[in-house]
Amino acid sequence: MTLPFILFFVLALTAIGGALLLILAREPIHSALSLILVMMSLAGLYLMLGAEFVAAVQIIVYAGAIMVLFVFVIMLLNAGVEERTEYSKIAKYVGIPLGLLLLLDLAHGMAHSLMGRAPANGAGSANVMVSTRDLSLQLFQKYLFPFEATSILILIAILGALVLAKRDE
């Protein structure tokens, strides 16, 4: 076991544990905090993959902005313990095996998707560090139009949120 492997397993287990806590927690605020845990460990994994700018954006935008919005709404609505309601029989006896099947299939497919055609996978890839400069050049040259389109999307989302949350007179 070398240091990258240990680091990977610590971060991966933290992420999976956070996701499990999100499912098991009864209070929405606990779910929100465990989701922040998942996002922080994913930021660590992005750093290990050599994408340091993505890691910074993950912490600032996801763990910072989006989750603060969630926590804010939970506080605002004073959301308490979640009620348990009866699940349908189909969900119990068909849904769980099918969900597990989907999970296994996804994991299997993902694990084998790189078989035999991954040039940067393995020993030679240690020096593939993505520079933020290359990333920004890509974003502002090749993907300039989608970038501008997302700014319009953000504008529409702001207007939509304002209109929806406004109290009617």
Residues in 34-73 at the binding interface with other proteins, rule: CB under 8 A: 35, 38-39, 42, 45-46, 48-51, 53-54, 57-58, 61-62, 65-66, 69-70, 73
Nearer to other proteins, 93 or 156 (CB): 156
Q: Which residue, 43, 41, 69, 36, is CA-closest to 57?
A: 43
- 93 or 106: whose CB is closer to other proteins? 106
Radius of gyration of the chain from Cα atoms? Answer: 21
Strand, coil or helix: what is 25? coil
**108: CB partners within 8 A, 6+ apart:** none
Minimal distance, residue 157 CB to other proteins, in Å? 4
Q: Whose structure tokens read 């209070």?
A: 27
Residues 130-159 that bind other proteins (CB under 8 A): 130, 134-135, 138-139, 142-143, 146, 150, 153-154, 156-158
Sole binder of other proteins in the list 59, 89, 99, 116 (CB under 8 A): 99
Give the H/E segment covering residue 50. Answer: none
Which of residues 10, 97, 106, 148 is near other proteins by CB under 8 A?
106
Q: Which of 88, 90, 116, 119 binds other proteins (CB under 8 A)?
A: 119
Smallest distance from other proteins to CB 110, Å: 4
Report 6-35 residues binding other proteins (CB under 8 A). 8, 12, 15-16, 19-20, 22-23, 28, 31-32, 35
**Contact status: 160 vs other proteins (CB under 8 A):** yes
CB of 89 to other proteins, least distance (A): 15
* Residue 144: both structure tokens together: 């300039």
Cβ atoms within 10 Å, residue 11: 19
User: Residue 159: which H helix or E strand, with range?
Assistant: helix 144-165
Angle between helices 144-165 and 132-141 in degrees, nearest 10? 80
